[in-house]
Structure 1
Amino acid sequence: MNAATTTAELPGAGRLQPTRGIVSLLAALAAIGALSTNIILPSFPAIRASLGVSDAQLGLTLSVFFIVFAVGQLIVGPMSDRFGRRKLVIGGLLLFAAGGVMCALAPNFGTLVLGRGVQAAGVCAASVLARAIARDLFDGETLSRVLAMVIVAMAAAPGFSPLLGSVTEQIIGWRLTFVTVGVVGVLLAVWYAWRLPETHAVSQRASLSLGPIFSAYTSLACDARFIRPAIVVGCATGALYGFFAAAPAVLIGALGLSSLQLGLFFAATVPVVFAAGLLVPRLSGRWGPQRTLQLGLALALAGGALVWVAAGRAPGSLVAFTTALCVFLFGMGIANPLGTALALSPFAAKAGAASAMLGFVQMVGAALGAMVVTKLGGLSPMTALGLVIVAAHVLSIAVFALLSRQRLGATA
């Protein structure tokens, strides 16, 4: 299948078989946003020296990205339900590349922050619409399997990006790192344009007026089939980004790793999430999605408790921390894709809005997790991380306990 294929020639949801190429493309679309979030972290010292800014100011390059990314998803989702996915994804990736060039050429810090905002405005379309495209093409267990791979890619990208950023910073510098990421965005746009046609049928297009958009988001927020699994996904994402925020203080400050070892540690955690994602279809097929999601939440909660226990041990307990973290990541890797599938499956006619709303909840969770773990100044970083993971998953389990017994393949 290539770009010459029309939407009318595509099989309906649930009849198209997920090829390796389609799944890889959707995973790449979902991952590029997460990749561009963390890849600049190793470049902070060089940016600080080059532009003469403080550490607090450098934090704006992350917070502006998060804010624009979160709000942009709420705009892109309804637009894709009205105009289709294809133009928004391709145009967004090109805008992302332009933002990267703006960052690379930035003569001052204000221009750099503006460029980061442009990057986020562009890349949010690819990230949010990867899930909507999956919902356009697949249904039921197939959708769950595809989303598992997409979520694994989204979780893996932040793990690899600090290591990749460290390597590019040392070889080509921080400015060309932004150019490189922009080039990746252009190549991904070309791949998408060649590989997939428009997947959102004209017959399913929704209105773009403010009334229906507001109504769509309000109905999603009030629909237990969406909001309960969405909160589960938001809590899982918040716990994950709490780990990203606390990791430098825990691994470098408390456990004595170098910056390169920090990047390698991030990368080494990726196979744990990947293995969990591979198990999701098998476990879900045997026990059902809701029981499997309960298992994932229980494991993630246990991992957070073990992080808390590890914080009370003698300094230098890298093995105890790593073991606890792997339990958390494995549980999160099971729960996150299933929560995503449960949230999106009932809403075929407004998959763009549902995916956008879910992405917004995720980004809010990410911002809260990162903020809370750094604001618990009276606790050690490892203790704060354990507390955030435990609190997030206690909330998830409480919310999930209210989940109505809807089938994964239900339609709105």
Structure 2
Amino acid sequence: MTPQAHPSNRAGLGVLACLAALAMLATNIILPTFPDIGRSLSVATQSLAITLSAFFIPFALGQLVVGPLSDRLGRRGLMLGGLAVLAVGSVVCALATRLDWLIAGRVIQGLGACVPSVLARSIARDRFEGPALSRALAFIMVAMAAAPGFSPLAGGLLSSVAGWSSVFWLVAVLTVLIGFLYTMRIGETHPPAARRQVSIAATFTSYFQLLRNRRFIAPAMAVGLASGGLMAFFAATPAILMDGLALTSIELGNFFAATVFVVFGAGIAAPKLASRWNAPSITAAGCAIALAGGIALLGAPEGLFSFSVSISVFLFGAGLINPLGTAMALQPFAAQAGAASALLGFLQMGMATLAITAMTALNGSAYRSLGGVLVMGMGLALMCLLLFGRSAPSADART
């Protein structure tokens, strides 16, 4: 299909951006409510990080199934089913009176949220190609970057007025509305004639081939580890700023919103820098910058100024890694685009789960634990690019 057959219209791209951002919205909008949830359910704020892992694990595993399944069955039915599951999970969370019910709701949310996350990229691939596809994916990634920054501010404002359960009701309502817009504006983009009857065995063989291919695994691991660091940052910051530094939920939301501009700035700079040098070099530089931010966080005195500066350095590096690393991982594999997209998403959520688990397992304050996780993760990301990416051809990775 060509861009002329499916013209790029703002409404359709807006719906795709909303679909892609839903998962991050469902994750991060609850962060300012952690202290309120902890008091309501009689659990420690830091222990509520388990609700993030409960979301990420099914989200990560579900992507491996949803991508190939949509190639066989089409997009529309799976999309609407996933949105319905996300809405149900949000209602379960809103009604939870015990931690185990909240965790169950988060698992259901994760299973539903993986569907729009994967299929937004697949639908963009159905509708566009060439430069139009690059522009569409860039727009979607901007929305995905904005959602984790601005959603905590919305969550803090809403919870301060209507209580912590209201943020889950908001996610449920937005999910239904976005599902309606999807039905009206987009619908099915993968007709029966284009569907591939690929066996489950062949699908997992394709995953195994990608994992063995240095052109995929080096940038994909960098993106995954950067995403893990970002999720660890979002998970730890409520305890650092609200419990440790006595910020209010609104102030926490403002802090998260401010960090979006750092990521935006890096996202704008990334393609310009890559065109002057090359994507692999700038991606490796992003890893080094993010690593420097982690080191600063680990060694700096605990305080709002030092935390803000250190985390801004990390975020700028991560903002360079994500768009360039994603392009490097997906561009050489047009024939395996669905599998590559699903596997990349799995690595992102899998690394997020590992990062949060490692952070909660480390002894020490949330401040130092976050610094340790960022240093380990970004050090490993830089190592992957230098060792495994060195021999990978880079002609297709230039942006």
TM-score (ref. length: structure 1): 0.85
Counterpart of 1:377 in 2: which secondary structure? coil
Which residue in 2 is equivalent to 1:363?
349
Alignment partner for residue 405 of structure 1, among 370, 380, 393? 393
Q: What does the per-residue CA deviation read over 1:6-28, in whole Å, with 9 as the maximum and x for residues that have no partner? A: xxxx416x997754444433322
Counterpart of 1:214 in 2: which secondary structure? helix
Q: Does 1:70 align with 2:60?
A: yes
**Alignment of structure 1 residues 223-372 onto 2, 5 Å:** 223-309=213-299, 311=300, 313=301, 315-316=302-303, 318-372=304-358
Residues 1:137 and 1:327: Cα distance change in structure 2 (over 3 Å): farther
Alignment partner for residue 90 of structure 1, among 80, 91, 95? 80
Alignment-mate amino acid for residue 117 of structure 1: V
Q: What does the per-residue CA deviation read over 1:124-150, in whole Å, with 9 as the maximum and x for residues that have no partner? A: 100122222333344555544443433
Residues 1:332 and 1:49: Cα distance change in structure 2 (over 3 Å): closer
Alignment partner for residue 374 of structure 1, among 354, 360, 369? 360
**Alignment of structure 1 residues 378-389 onto 2, 5 Å:** 378=364, 380-389=365-374
- 8 A contact 1:245–1:373 mirrored in 2: no
Alignment-mate amino acid for residue 355 of structure 1: S
Residues 1:198 and 1:285: Cα distance change in structure 2 (over 3 Å): farther
The separation in 2 between residues aligned to 1:251 and 1:32, in whole angstroms, is: 25
Counterpart of 1:198 in 2: which secondary structure? coil
The separation in 2 between residues aligned to 1:292 and 1:260, in whole angstroms, is: 35
The alpha carbon displacement at 1:182 in A equals 0.9
Alignment-mate amino acid for residue 231 of structure 1: M
- 8 A contact 2:53–2:357 mirrored in 1: no
The separation in 2 between residues aligned to 1:56 and 1:302, in whole angstroms, is: 25
The separation in 2 between residues aligned to 1:40 and 1:161, in whole angstroms, is: 8
Residues 1:334 and 1:76: Cα distance change in structure 2 (over 3 Å): same
The separation in 2 between residues aligned to 1:259 and 1:223, in whole angstroms, is: 44
Q: What does the per-residue CA deviation read over 1:76-112, in whole Å, with 9 as the maximum and x for residues that have no partner? A: 1111121222322222112211222233344655444
The separation in 1 between residues aligned to 2:235 and 2:167, in whole angstroms, is: 21
The separation in 2 between residues aligned to 1:18 and 1:203, in whole angstroms, is: 23
The separation in 1 between residues aligned to 2:360 and 2:310, in whole angstroms, is: 20
Alignment-mate amino acid for residue 307 of structure 2: F
Counterpart of 1:408 in 2: which secondary structure? helix
- 8 A contact 1:77–1:354 mirrored in 2: no
- 8 A contact 1:232–1:400 mirrored in 2: yes
The separation in 1 between residues aligned to 2:159 and 2:276, in whole angstroms, is: 46
Q: Please provide the CA RMSD for this pair.
A: 2.8
The alpha carbon displacement at 1:332 in A equals 0.9
Alignment-mate amino acid for residue 74 of structure 2: G
**Alignment of structure 1 residues 195-214 onto 2, 5 Å:** 195-200=185-190, 202-214=192-204
The separation in 1 between residues aligned to 2:325 and 2:350, in whole angstroms, is: 16
- 8 A contact 1:144–1:338 mirrored in 2: no
Q: Give the unaligned 5+ runs of structure 1.
A: 1-9
Alignment-mate amino acid for residue 275 of structure 1: G
- 8 A contact 1:136–1:351 mirrored in 2: no
The separation in 2 between residues aligned to 1:381 and 1:44, in whole angstroms, is: 14
- 8 A contact 1:239–1:369 mirrored in 2: yes
Alignment-mate amino acid for residue 397 of structure 1: L
Q: Give the unaligned 5+ runs of structure 2.
A: none
Alignment-mate amino acid for residue 217 of structure 1: Y
Which residue in 1 is equivalent to 2:155?
165
The separation in 1 between residues aligned to 2:193 and 2:324, in whole angstroms, is: 29
Counterpart of 2:196 in 1: which secondary structure? coil
Alignment-mate amino acid for residue 263 of structure 2: V
Counterpart of 2:247 in 1: which secondary structure? coil
Which residue in 2 is equivalent to 1:390?
375
Counterpart of 2:396 in 1: which secondary structure? coil
Counterpart of 1:322 in 2: which secondary structure? helix
The separation in 2 between residues aligned to 1:148 and 1:38, in whole angstroms, is: 21
Which residue in 2 is equivalent to 1:103?
93
The alpha carbon displacement at 1:238 in A equals 1.3
- 8 A contact 2:83–2:113 mirrored in 1: yes
Which residue in 1 is equivalent to 2:175?
185
Give the stretch that moved more between structures: 63-72 or 285-294: 285-294
- 8 A contact 1:204–1:349 mirrored in 2: no
The separation in 1 between residues aligned to 2:314 and 2:90, in whole angstroms, is: 34
The alpha carbon displacement at 1:231 in A equals 0.4
Counterpart of 1:398 in 2: which secondary structure? helix
- 8 A contact 1:252–1:258 mirrored in 2: yes
State the number of aligned residues.
395
Alignment-mate amino acid for residue 59 of structure 2: F
Alignment-mate amino acid for residue 229 of structure 2: A
The separation in 2 between residues aligned to 1:50 and 1:249, in whole angstroms, is: 16
- 8 A contact 1:236–1:392 mirrored in 2: yes
Residues 1:387 and 1:62: Cα distance change in structure 2 (over 3 Å): closer
TM-score (ref. length: structure 2): 0.87
Counterpart of 2:393 in 1: which secondary structure? coil
The alpha carbon displacement at 1:266 in A equals 1.2
Residues 1:264 and 1:17: Cα distance change in structure 2 (over 3 Å): same
- Percent identity among equivalent residues? 48
